Structure 1
Amino acid sequence: METRHATCHCGAVEISAEFPEGLASARRCDCSFCLRRGAPAVTALGATLQVLRGAENLTLYSWGTHTAKHYFCKTCGIYVYHRRRSDPSQCGVNLACIDGGNPRTHAETYGEIGWSDGVNHPSDRNA
């Protein structure tokens, strides 16, 4: 378990959270939103996520079931983190916002960034 900090591009927003697998859990998602956003996310425990600075500078984007809640900096527009639809007790934090996180060099230490099948999310299937 690692505790790490993350910031948006302009520094107005700073968060911290516990990451059960460190940066090794980085994944990309191919749902309609994440595919366009393009940022890999690292799994954090939602109960540990704290906005240390700039809560008033975060803006929320949500759609569909409104279970997933995506937070962006109002100033620089960077996606910082989101509450997961697949497990609302978890958050995904933008790998590139995390201190020491870099999608370009991630594979050198942790392996290739995998994909989550957001297109076929269980919540979207007919009962």
Structure 2
Amino acid sequence: MREAQEIANLVGLTNEQKEQLLELAVETTSPAQLRKQAWKILTPEQRAKVLAHRKELAAKRKELEEKRQQRLKKYFGDELQYAQQANKVIREQREARRKQLEAQKQAQQSPATGANPSAKASSAGGQR
């Protein structure tokens, strides 16, 4: 969303274009369809600015990824692939523990709510 506003400010949308985009946003639920329709609203100059901005962002992402790879290579050397596999295993274990804790919390909450109706039933049975 922030990137969309940044691009809107970059290309200098007219009030009419802003209104058209707002109407599209209300009518359209698919982000891909919204982008396709929004592209049609832009002038050729605005499209060129958007494309240039996308290229800049792609170059920045590529540069950051290269720096990340260099940093990993520096710390792990030739064992980079081993470290990446170990990190993957650690992430999977962490996710499994998180899911297990969520399941335990739900299990603890379910009997607590289920115990109240049975308590009411036993107390009602004692009043006969």
TM-score, reference length from structure 2: 0.22
Normalized per residue, the structure richer in strand is 1
Normalized per residue, the structure richer in helix is 2
TM-score, reference length from structure 1: 0.22
The structure having more radius of gyration, on CA atoms, is: 2
Higher relative contact order (CA 8 A, sep 6+): 1
